[in-house]
Structure 1
Amino acid sequence: MWFKSFKLICISLTVALVGCGDVRPEPLNVGEVKCSHCSMSIVDMRFHTQLITYKGKRYHFDAIECMDQFQKQKDLKIKNIWVTNYLNKSEFIPKDEAIIIHSDKIRSPMGAGLAAFKTHEDSSPFQN
């Protein structure tokens, strides 16, 4: 009897510890998901942004400005926010580490001209 209880405890602990791992952004295919704020299909992956709450709910956005508006409207306990590197659409950057600029040279899906870069040097050609 004690062996079955021990086995159940071990399985429970394993499941709990697996859930505590590092949360990473998930890649999407073009048009696979709609923006959690404006409901547009996410098609320009240079602007794809992800937000995950402490409860594990993941939200996808087609632009940084959609994510900003969504945050203002919702009372969420946010665990992570990732933005896509404008110059490498397969690379996510934690929002607090990204260089986010506003530029007339950038045409974002919602028209605000916001884009994220990994370094200041990468963003300089797009500065107004």
Structure 2
Amino acid sequence: MRFNSFKLICIFLTVALVGCGDVRPEALTVGETKCSHCSMSIVDMRFHTQLITYKGKRYHFDAIECMEQFQKQKDLKIAKVWVTNYLDTKEFIPKDEAIIIHSDKIRSPMGAGLAAFKTHEDSSQFQN
């Protein structure tokens, strides 16, 4: 009886600890994943955006504007949203910390000209 209780406690603790890990953005291979909103292949990683719900469902987008339209259309409880740093495609920034600008100098996949930057200084050269 003691052994069975010990096994149950170990299983419970393992499941609880696995669920407590920090959720991070996933790196993608160019062209392998489609946008969850418009279904275009994600090929320009400067605009890649990710959203994860509280239930753990992850969505990928080819542009910030696709993610915003998707959010408006769906009633999701969102846990985290990351945007790619326009100047460093390997760096993800939490959307609420990013500097998102609209510029005619930026040609985003869907044409809205939205891009995310880490700092205001980084975005200054693209400001209209």
TM-score (norm 1): 0.97
Percent identical among aligned pairs is: 89
Q: Give runs of aligned pairs for residues 1-128 of structure 1, distance below 5 A.
A: 1-128=1-128
User: Quick one: distance in 2 between partners of 1:43 and 1:103?
Assistant: 20
Aligned-pair Cα RMSD in Å: 0.7
How many residue pairs get matched? 128
Question: Which consecutive residues of structure 1, in runs of 5 or more, have no partner in the other structure?
Answer: none
User: Quick one: distance in 2 between partners of 1:54 and 1:2?
Assistant: 36
User: Quick one: distance in 1 between partners of 2:35 and 2:116?
Assistant: 18
Residue type of the alignment partner of 2:7: K
Q: Deviations over 1:49-90 (max 9, x none)?
A: 000000000000000000000000000000000000000000
Residue type of the alignment partner of 1:95: K
Structure 1 runs (4+) deviating above 3 angstroms are: none
Residue type of the alignment partner of 2:6: F
User: Quick one: distance in 2 between partners of 1:85 and 1:16?
Assistant: 33
Q: How far did 1:9 drift?
A: 1.9
TM-score (norm 2): 0.97
Residue type of the alignment partner of 2:56: G
Q: Deviations over 1:2-25 (max 9, x none)?
A: 212211221222122111111000
Residue type of the alignment partner of 2:96: D
